[in-house]
Amino acid sequence: MQKSFDSVEFPARVGPIPYLGMAFMSQTGMSFVQQGLVILGTFFLFMYHLNLTELGFITTSLSLGVMVSMAFVGVVVDRFGPRVVLFWGAVLMAGFSLLLLRVQKFGVLLATLFFIGVTLAIVPSAGTKAVFTAFADRPRGLVMGIRQTGVPVGAALAAWLLPQMVPHLGMHWVYVAFAIELWVTGWAFSAVMPAWHRVSVVGDGVRLRREHWVKLSRPALVAFLMVSGQYILLTYSIADLHQAHHLTVAMAGAVLALSQIGGGVGRIVLGQVSDYLGGRRAPVIAFTASLGAIMAFFVGLLPGTVSVWLLFVLWIFFGFAAVGWNALALTWAGESVPASHSGLAMSLTGSIVFLGSSIFPPLFGIVVDTSHRLAFGWWLLAGILALAAFIAWQAAKRTLD
């Protein structure tokens, strides 16, 4: 097996390092918009006079759009290749983002976010397939982790920049910036992708059998549960830190941004660890889920008055666990089926991930609105992540057997 960054026989138009850099940039650009729209929920909260449950529906609308289209886009990517799909997808993403300029009502906002989510699904579907196939016959845990680090890096940039941009520039210029960077990053990555030979991918006639679906169900179920931490942290951190711990919105955004950086570090470190363990993804995810459950439990115990430095430290480790798992789950899913169906497997898992991201944030909001205590929401999250850890440990044991 070749080393991950060996340039010999690398199929793309550039070497493995710049190729991975462009993949990272594309994912970062998409994440800045997708996760940024969730972070803008803090401003939507005041603009439309929302409660916490309604705030959760902002995440739900966006995630449902991604979920609905992701599996379909995965099939299209398997058939026509990621280069063509991402090239035209960049145009669609930019166009739908500009529709936000016309939104005046909360209901229209939710509908628009749904359709934006439909188009945003193109980036993870095309990007994961492009990296997964380009690095075939090489250790992929680390490279998939680096590419997927674009998600928390984009979220960190959004958490840091958007709370400062909106008061100075207004929402309209933020929407224009979203459209421009989606178009630029999408076209830039598609330009370095290799030409796609359809026959080499789908012409082998391999069909998914029952054992493949059973294997795929394990990472898919774990990912469905794990995404609760990623999106609850993203959706409610600023509101929690601002209301319960009396931080300014800008400072709360900085804490959230640092948590996303912790998640980015997690994706790289955990991918490297899983490669070191011979490609065993399940036990590494189980450890990550256990850490996330512990962090969510302790966040629920925090008093109202606490050092901001302690909040920074806690949110870094919380982000490491709640965000760092994603690349491992997608790699685990792609390796559960024949290579010709890896795009479908990763996109289907991605759809299930976004199904979870559409369910758990409103559920958190309902628990908090009903109990009038944020702690109960965090403890609910701790239980969900503990269940994910248990399932991943069982999958790891089954693999050893």
120 — pLDDT class (breaks 50, 70, 90): very high
pLDDT the model gives residue 206: 59
Question: Is 214 domain-assigned?
Answer: yes
Average pLDDT along the chain: 87
Mean pLDDT confidence for 45-49: 87
List of residues 6+ apart from 24 with CB closer than 8 A: 146, 147, 149, 150, 153
Residue 318 has pLDDT above 60, yes or no: yes
pLDDT the model gives residue 197: 65
Which of 176-190, 302-316, 324-338, 381-395 has the weakest average pLDDT? 324-338
Q: pLDDT tens-digit profile of 185-203?
A: 999 999 999 877 654 444 4
pLDDT more than 90, % of the chain: 45
Question: Is 2 domain-assigned?
Answer: no
Question: Is 365 domain-assigned?
Answer: yes
Mean pLDDT confidence for 304-330: 91
pLDDT the model gives residue 63: 84
Mean pLDDT confidence for 220-237: 93
In CATH, what number is assigned to the domain containing residue 359?
1.20.1250.20
The DSSP secondary structure of 57-70, one letter per residue, reads HHHHHHHHHHHHHH
For helices 150-169 and 249-276, angle between their N-to-C axes, nearest 10 degrees: 170
Residue 204 has pLDDT above 60, yes or no: no
Query: Is 61:105 a contact under the CB 8 Å cutoff?
Result: no
Residue 156 has pLDDT above 90, yes or no: no
C-alpha span between 175 and 34 (Å, rounded): 12
Question: Is 205 domain-assigned?
Answer: no
- Dig out the tokens for 375 from the structure: 């702690």
Q: pLDDT tens-digit profile of 392-401?
A: 999 888 765 5
* Segments forming the whole domain that contains residue 83: 16-196+210-400
- Greatest mean pLDDT among 4-18, 76-90, 132-146 lies in 76-90
Question: Is 141 domain-assigned?
Answer: yes
Total number of domains in the chain:
1
More confident call, 21 vs 139: 21
Residue 351 has pLDDT above 90, yes or no: no
Q: pLDDT tens-digit profile of 76-115?
A: 887 888 999 999 999 999 999 999 999 989 999 999 999 9
pLDDT the model gives residue 238: 87
Question: Is 202 domain-assigned?
Answer: no
pLDDT the model gives residue 201: 44
Mean pLDDT confidence for 18-43: 92
- Dig out the tokens for 54 from the structure: 């309604």
Question: Is 177 domain-assigned?
Answer: yes
Q: CB pairs under 8 A, 24+ apart, for 220-223? A: 220/333, 220/348, 220/349, 220/352, 221/352, 221/391, 222/282, 222/285, 222/289, 222/329, 222/388, 222/391, 222/392, 222/395, 223/325, 223/326, 223/329, 223/330, 223/333, 223/349, 223/352, 223/353, 223/356
Residue 135 has pLDDT above 60, yes or no: yes
Question: Looking at the whole model, is its pTM more than 0.85?
Answer: no
Alpha helices in 81-209 (DSSP H): 82-98, 106-120, 122-134, 141-148, 150-169, 171-192, 198-202
pLDDT the model gives residue 202: 43
